Chain A
Amino acid sequence: MDREWNDSQPIYRQLHDRVVAMILDGVLKEGDPLPSVRNVAAEYRVNPLTVLKGYQQLVEEELVEKRRGLGMFVKDGVRNLLLQGERQKFLSEEWPRIHATMRRLGLTPEELLDAAGPAPNAKSSTGSDTKDEER
Chain B
Amino acid sequence: MAIPIESSPPPGWEREGIDGLLGLFPPGRLSEIVGPRSSGASSLLLALIARITTSGGQVAFVDGMDALDPASAAAGGVDLSMVLWVKCGSRLRVALSAADLLVRCPGFAMVVLDLDELGPMPASAHLRLQRAVEGGDTILITRSARHREGSPASLVLATRRLAPRWMGLRPLTRLAGLRSEVSILRSRPSQILTLSPLGRGQGEGKAWTLDWTL
Asked if chains A and B come from one complex, the reply is: no
B interface, CB within 8 angstroms of A: none
